Chains A and B, each alone.
Chain A
Amino acid sequence: MTASESNGSTNGAVPARSGGQVICEALLAEDIDVIFGMPGGASLPFYDALYHYQDRIRHVLARHEQGAGFAANGYARATGKVGVATSTSGPGATNLVTSMANDHMDSVPVVYITGQVARPAIGSDAFQETDITGISIPITKHNYLVMHADELPRVMAEAFYLAKSGRPGPVVVDVPKDVFLEETTVPAPDRVNLRGYRPVRAGNLRMVRRAAEVINASERPMIMAGHGVDISGAAPELFELATGGNIPVVTTLHGVGGFPETHPLSFGMLGMHGLAYANFAMGETDCIIGLGVRFDDRAVGKVDEFGPNARVVHIDVDPAEIGKVLDTEVPIVGDLKLTLQALNPLIEHRERRPWLGQLNEWRENHPSLDIPDSPDTVLPQEVVRSIYDASGGDARVIADVGQNQMWASQHFWYEKPRRFFSAGGLGPMGYALPAAMGVQMGAPGEPVWCVSGDGGLLINIQEFNTLAAEKIPVKVAILNNAHLGMIRQWQQFFYEGRYMGAFLDNPDFAKVAEAFGLRGVSVSSRDELHTAIADAHAYDGPVVLDVHVDRVENVYPMIVPGTGVRSVIEDPR
């Protein structure tokens, strides 16, 4: 980067530090007390620097770089800080790719420090050389290849700033082995100045007034709250908007917990496996108030049936999301919290009797959350419900991908933000276990439950070793249905039951857990379930519950892809 681009101002000369030290200092300046990673040849000099900082920065050795990346994601999402993951060059860096893509889709701030081969070897196809900055361009917010230690203080400051500001996302800092060792006297800048990057703060006031007019004039408004509520810390403002204006709320998968789910104005999660009444509401509303959402296809379904008669107010920090999917009458680019603070005083309280009456009638007649009777088998929904009961509703729940993810979002009533975590945009199986590790590190002392499918658990099961070695007291509940359940369900519905690659011949997970040094419990009845969950909840170490659940239970409701919010398939029982 050239001098004219940015340097911010600096603090004056400082003693020489190695590149590795500069990075450690940057971590401390960001209040990062834990990082996740696996070392390798190219990053050994960085580990040598970390060695001298181990009293202040805890390094958690993940057993696969993907685990390190997902853990950093969980840590970031639990704390609101930036997560940090590190790897060596080549295979270490490529193992992080899925995690980068996941952060990118879910707007999670993670800084990746990847080792690179030494500068003279770059471009020579050296041992373990991979062009990770090239690979990661479309799946990161930004990336850097740092060719001189003098650049590192600025690059680290920019990396953290980019990761967490505006619409958050992953930033890769690729550091050649010899740059970790090279010394610099350049101080850390005291502010970041990026000419081409100016995230918007509060939304335009004229637009905010327009939004208030549209909302106040509406008869059947619906707030659709997304991940932005969490990211911007706007839950109190959302609460004020909804209760102040008497406006019902649905959330996206990532919006879960942004508004208390037991509140009468909460109509749960919408989308493909959202609640029937949440989706009906989106078909009939006359005013969609999209808050920190991107109107993803899994949430919206068929666009023509999604609020066909609705005026759309959309507040988001990313201008590229506004008008991308829906024609938007009132587009507001801005930080959600600040924008709602301006909007809320302009919102009038309305009775909205017919609308709320209609919504509640749907809720009565389409009870999406009733668990059917099942005399012979434990249903997976019951596992989630049991965790809800045992924790008094106050646990952090990290779901994997598949049926388990939907049940974990549905059958627990989340009252606060940053309580439910799942990989929504990319949907990588194997997310839950390592992410739960990161969440627990970010929320020490709090109950953290990993709810995983049997298939997904196997993808990053090596992290059992990390739980044991680092004594991270995550509780793991495996919804063991002996299937890639979501695949089986789709093959049942859309491929006339031609099951292919859907059956799982599982190991004995309780024994596996024991072999890793964790407490492992096998559960196959309802009584065992409640005891095992209560015991696990009370235990202060990591536990794995292998819950043998009904093998063919389906997730309901379901909207068939390509159809809209009106064509919800409900549980036939």
Chain B
Amino acid sequence: MNGTSRSHTLVAMVADHPGVLTRVASMFRRRGFNIASLAVGNCEEPGYSRMTIEVRGTDDEVKQFEKQLYKLVEVITIRDLTDVAAVQTETALVRVRVSPADRPGLADIASIFHGEIVDVGRDTMIVQITGVSETIDRFLDVIAEYGIDELTRTGVVAMARGTKASRNGSARG
């Protein structure tokens, strides 16, 4: 089985039990997958969480992985949003080393990228930026010359467009 490797975005609804993250992570490691990003948080139903997982692999590999993941008793639904109409977004916090003189320049760049200055220190600024991962990558590239002191990214969260009922994708792998 072959195919080209690319980035996939999977969204899973899981029971909010202790250990569920370990189970999911263990499955990734065991099947030789590298998680590019993983975001977990509450969802619309109490007692459940939603995970967005970004992973690289061929379509066949990811399909197989999806099926293995679905076998976990605590995984309720799982869907690959890679090729469906979906909103994908991520937030980054970047602390940039910047002298007072350079602040306006950085602020300009941030505003072009719809970033927000959320903290200003004597020689640093923290920019919060939200958008698709590629936009964040470009922003980081542009401000690299200032010197990035610290960077943290949430990982992608994703959601299919349209209502749940209108989607006919199966929950099963």
- Residues of A bordering B, CB below 8 Å: 1-5, 133-134, 137-138, 141-142, 145, 162, 194-197, 318-320, 323-324, 327
Which B residues from 44 to 62 make CB contacts under 8 A with A? Answer: 45-48, 60
Give the number of chain B interface residues (Cβ < 8 Å): 30
* SS class, residues of chain A in contact with chain B: loop
Are B67 and A320 within 8 A (Cβ)?
yes
The CA of A141 and the CA of B74, in the complex, are separated in Å by 11
Contact B46 A327 (CB under 8 A): no
Contact present for B15 and A196 (CB under 8 Å): yes
CB neighbours of B27 from chain A (8 A): 138
CA A562 – CA B17 in complex, angstroms? 43
**CB atoms of B46 and A2 under 8 A apart:** yes
**Are the C-beta atoms of B47 and A5 separated by less than 8 Å?**
yes
Cα distance A34–B17 in the bound complex, in angstroms = 32
Chain B residues with CB below 8 A from A162, complex form = 73
Residues of B contacting A194 in the complex (Cβ-Cβ under 8 angstroms): 73
Q: Which residue of B lies closest to A319 (CB)?
A: B67
Q: Which residue in A3, A137, A318 is a CB contact (below 8 Å) of B26?
A: A137
Most central of A133, A162, A196, A320 by chain B CB within 10 Å: A196
Name 10 interchain pairs, CB-CB below 8 A, sorted by A: A1-B17, A4-B45, A138-B27, A145-B19, A195-B15, A196-B72, A196-B75, A320-B67, A323-B63, A327-B1
Is B173's CB within 8 Å of the partner chain A?
Answer: yes
A137-B76 in contact given A318-B71, A320-B71 (Cβ < 8 Å): no
Residues on the B chain within 8 Å of A195, using CB: 15, 76
**Besides A138-B27, A145-B19, 5 new A-B residue pairs in contact (Cβ under 8 A), listed by A number:** A2-B15, A137-B22, A145-B18, A319-B172, A323-B1
B64 contacts chain A at the CB level, 8 A cutoff: yes
Interface flag for B138 (CB, 8 Å): no
Residue among B15, B18, B76 facing the most chain A CB atoms (10 A cut-off): B15
Q: Which 3 pairs, one residue from A and one from B, show the smallest C-beta to C-beta distance?
A: A2-B47, A320-B67, A196-B76
Tell me the smallest distance from the CB of B14 to a CB of chain A, in Å.
8
Residues of A within 8 A of B18 (CB): 145
CA A43 to CA B18, docked complex, whole Å: 23
B30 adjacent to chain A (CB < 8 Å):
yes
Per the bound structure, the CA–CA distance linking A239 and B75 in Å amounts to: 37
Interface residue B68 (Cβ < 8 Å from any Cβ of A): yes
B114 sits at the interface (CB 8 A): no
Interface assignment of B161: CB less than 8 Å from any CB of chain A: no
Say yes or no: A324-B30 contact (C-beta < 8 A), given A134-B22, A194-B73: no
A1, A141, A145, A320: residue with the most chain B Cβ atoms closer than 10 Å = A320
Residue of A nearest to B63 (CB): A323
Q: Is A4 touching B26 in the complex (CB atoms < 8 A)?
A: no
Report yes or no: B19 in contact with A133, Cβ–Cβ below 8 A.
yes
Given the interface pairs A2-B15, A319-B173, A320-B67, the reply to whether A137 lies near B73 with Cβ below 8 Å is no
B68–A320 touching, CB < 8 Å: yes
Q: In the complex the two chains form, is B47's CB within 8 Å of A324's CB?
A: no
- Let me know if B173 and A3 touch, CB within 8 A: no
Q: Which of B95-138 contact A (CB under 8 A)?
A: none
Question: A327 — which chain B residues lie within 8 A by C-beta?
Answer: 1
Select from chain A the residue with minimum beta-carbon distance to B23: A137
Q: Beyond A2-B15, A138-B30, is A320–B173 a contact (Cβ under 8 Å)?
A: yes
Query: A197, B1: Cβ atoms under 8 Å?
Result: no
In the docked arrangement, what's the CA distance between A240 and B130, Å?
62
Question: Is there a chain A Cβ closer than 8 Å to B16's Cβ?
Answer: yes
In the complex formed, the residue of B with least CB distance to A333 is: B172
Q: State whether A324 touches B71 (Cβ < 8 A).
A: no
The chain B residue sitting closest to A1, CB to CB, is B17
Which residues does chain B contribute within 8 Å of A320, judged by CB atoms? 64, 67-68, 70-71, 173
A160 CB → nearest B CB, Å: 14
Chain A residue nearest to B172 (CB atoms) is: A319
Which A-chain residue is minimally distant from B29 (CB atoms)? Answer: A138
Q: A1-B15, A2-B15, A319-B173 are in contact. Are A196 and B74 (CB under 8 A)?
A: yes
* Complex: A196 Cα to B45 Cα, angstroms: 14
Report the Cα distance A194→B76, complex, angstroms.
Answer: 9
B46 A196 Cβ-Cβ under 8 A: no
Chain A neighbourhood of B16, CB < 8 A? 2
Q: With A196-B15, A320-B173 in contact, is A4–B47 under 8 Å at CB?
A: yes
A134 to B46 alpha-carbon distance, docked (Å): 25
* B26–A138 touching, CB < 8 Å: yes
Report yes or no: B47 in contact with A3, Cβ–Cβ below 8 A: yes
Nearest-Cβ distance from residue A526 to partner chain B, whole angstroms: 49
CB of A232 to closest CB in B, whole Å: 18
Q: For the complex, what is the distance from the CA of A134 to the CA of B22, rounded to whole Å? A: 8
Which single residue of chain A is at the shortest CB-CB distance from B18? A145
On chain A, the residues within 8 Å of B1 by CB distance are: 323, 327
B77: nearest chain-A partner, CB-CB = A196
Chain B residues near A318 (CB, 8 Å)?
Answer: 71
